[in-house]
Amino acid sequence: MKSSSVKAIPIKGFTQALMGHFSQLIQSRRRRSYVYARLLLLGCLSLWMLTGLVLPAQRRSAAAAEVELARAANPWSFASFPVENFQAYTSPFGYRQSPFGGEQFHYGLDIAAPLGSYIRNWWEGEVIEVSDDSACGTSVVIESGEWQHIYCHMQGYVTYEGGSRVMVDPGGNIRIREGGTISTGQPIGRVGMTGRTTGPHLHWGLKFESSWVDPAMVLRAMYDDQQALR
């Protein structure tokens, strides 16, 4: 009976075969490791997106909610003082001796400031009137909910553009159009001497539900609320 022979694997060939097997094994593990690494990387990216996008959005929402709560608790704290370069309150709300003679009711608060000082919108709202043909001089009226705020004796003039009335102050680079929306603190004019006046100042009037309100009381409430937030 012829015995079967076993073919011997040369040491060199065996070593090469063994190294090839190990190489395939290592490459296979590397491929698996690469897949695992990609999955891990995708997971990290997803986590980064959650913390980098979603959580800040949640924080922004929370911050917005805090602002609204602050507004509700301190309604005057986000309003803007109506004129820059304040010098003095020169004539209060109420009865007074008119500089033009006789006693009259003064429907506003006169705030002195240097000629050309910017006037800023007290509260966000809609421009319901611009005018330059009364004792108020060049003026703007803005409506914010139940409130109306009136700004008088400003520089500039009123013209028509596209069928709309527009208050224009070229020197201050200001154009205020009837029907437009004005944000809180936005410049709406500059202190002038138009209309019936004896010196540069802003005449600032306020109405609530069509009734005149003393602006000094509103400014006091604004100051108290803003101090409370510090």
pLDDT at 107 over 90: yes
Range of weakest confidence among 52-66, 95-109, 129-143: 52-66
Per the domain annotation, does 69 fall within a domain?
yes
**What's the mean per-residue pLDDT of the chain?**
79
Give 43-76 pLDDT, tens digit per residue.
Answer: 554 444 444 544 455 555 665 565 555 555 566 7
Verdict on whether the full-model pTM lies above 0.75:
no
Domain hosting residue 106, numbered range = 88-228
Per the domain annotation, does 149 fall within a domain?
yes
Query: 24 and 69: one domain?
Result: yes
Range of weakest confidence among 45-49, 137-141, 186-190: 45-49
87 is written with which tokens?
């010098």
Whether the Cβ atoms of residue 129 and residue 138 lie closer than 8 Å to each other: no
Whether the Cβ atoms of residue 213 and residue 206 lie closer than 8 Å to each other: yes
Query: 44 and 146: one domain?
Result: no
Q: What is the pLDDT of residue 88?
A: 97
The secondary structure of residue 123, as a DSSP letter, is S
Q: What is the pLDDT of residue 224?
A: 85
Whether the Cβ atoms of residue 156 and residue 192 lie closer than 8 Å to each other: yes
3-class secondary-structure state, position 67:
helix
Report which of 107, 74, 118 is spatially closest to residue 215, judged by C-alpha positions. 107
Query: 68 and 98: one domain?
Result: no
Q: What is the pLDDT of residue 151?
A: 98
Whether the Cβ atoms of residue 122 and residue 158 lie closer than 8 Å to each other: no
Cα(164)–Cα(183) distance, integer angstroms: 20
Query: 140 and 31: one domain?
Result: no
Per the domain annotation, does 78 fall within a domain?
no
210 is written with which tokens?
């069509």
Report which of 203, 211, 224 is spatially closest to residue 93, judged by C-alpha positions. 203
Query: 207 and 96: one domain?
Result: yes
Higher-pLDDT residue of 149 and 35 is 149
Per the domain annotation, does 80 fall within a domain?
no
pLDDT at 9 over 50: no
pLDDT at 112 over 50: yes
Report which of 204, 216, 86 is spatially closest to residue 141, judged by C-alpha positions. 204
User: Residue type at 142?
Assistant: I
**Confidence band for 159, pLDDT divided at 50, 70 and 90:** very high
Q: What is the pLDDT of residue 97?
A: 85
Per the domain annotation, does 102 fall within a domain?
yes
Query: 119 and 67: one domain?
Result: no
Question: What is the CA 20 to chain-centroid distance, rounded?
Answer: 68
* Number of folded domains that form the chain: 2
Query: 112 and 156: one domain?
Result: yes
pLDDT at 143 over 90: yes
Sign of the dihedral defined by the CA atoms of residues 55, 56, 57, 60, in that order: positive
Mean pLDDT of 77-90: 93
Cα(51)–Cα(45) distance, integer angstroms: 10
CATH number of the domain residue 209 falls in:
2.70.70.10
Q: What is the pLDDT of residue 93?
A: 95
> Degrees (nearest 5) of the Cα angle 220, 124, 106?
50
Mean pLDDT of 100-104: 82
Q: What is the pLDDT of residue 58?
A: 58
First to last CA, the chain: 108
Per the domain annotation, does 26 fall within a domain?
yes
Higher-pLDDT residue of 225 and 175 is 175
